[in-house]
Copies of this chain bind each other. A is one copy, B any other.
Amino acid sequence: MSKLREDQLAVWRAFVNAHAGVIRRIEKDLAERHQVPLIWYDVLVALYQSPGKKLRMTELADKVVLTPSGLTRLVERLEKEGLVRRERTEEDRRGSYTVLTREGKRAFLKAWPTYEQGIREYFIQVLTEEECRIIGDGLSRIYQSSRL
């Protein structure tokens, strides 16, 4: 229950500000070139990288860090644009899969270079290899311990 030091608070603020800043920057780049918000690509990336190019709602919500209800609406929008399709599961009829459509794959491949470049330019390149490794380790642990 010790007090937070000044420099520790500064680290926290750096974390919050860096996040907001970089996200805004990437969002702007994507909007300028593709007119589609960042979170859409998070969904498409998650689906693209999953075996079978499909995921349960819960898995997807987890990957993109949204609440279940938030994800439902997000998938609705993507479905309306034809980038994903929903499939009722056979095994567990409570749930459904969100499947990447051909068009969704195309949209993803088209937008990915911009997104990738943003991550590189605003985030990765600003760090040394070692910093990058250490930050990855630390933040992964933080993420893990924040779940629950």
Chain A residues engaging chain B, CB cutoff 8 angstroms: 1-4, 7-12, 14-25, 65, 116-117, 119-120, 122-124, 126-127, 131-143, 145-147
How far apart sit A138 and B18, CA to CA, in the bound complex (Å)?
9
Cβ contacts A to B, 7 pairs, < 8 Å: A3-B116, A12-B119, A18-B143, A19-B19, A20-B65, A127-B138, A127-B142
Binding site secondary structure of chain A: helix
Q: Are A17 and B127 in contact (CB under 8 A)?
A: no
Q: Are B8 and A19 in contact (CB under 8 A)?
A: no
Q: Are A15 and B139 in contact (CB under 8 A)?
A: yes
Q: Are A16 and B15 in contact (CB under 8 A)?
A: no
Residues in B whose Cβ lies below 8 Å from that of A15:
19, 123, 135, 139
How far apart sit A15 and B60, CA to CA, in the bound complex (Å)?
18
Q: Are B11 and A135 in contact (CB under 8 A)?
A: yes
Residues in B whose Cβ lies below 8 Å from that of A147:
21
Q: Shortest beta-carbon distance, A132 to chain B, in Å? A: 6
How far apart sit A3 and B145, CA to CA, in the bound complex (Å)?
30
Q: Shortest beta-carbon distance, A50 to chain B, in Å? A: 14
Q: Shortest beta-carbon distance, A46 to chain B, in Å? A: 10
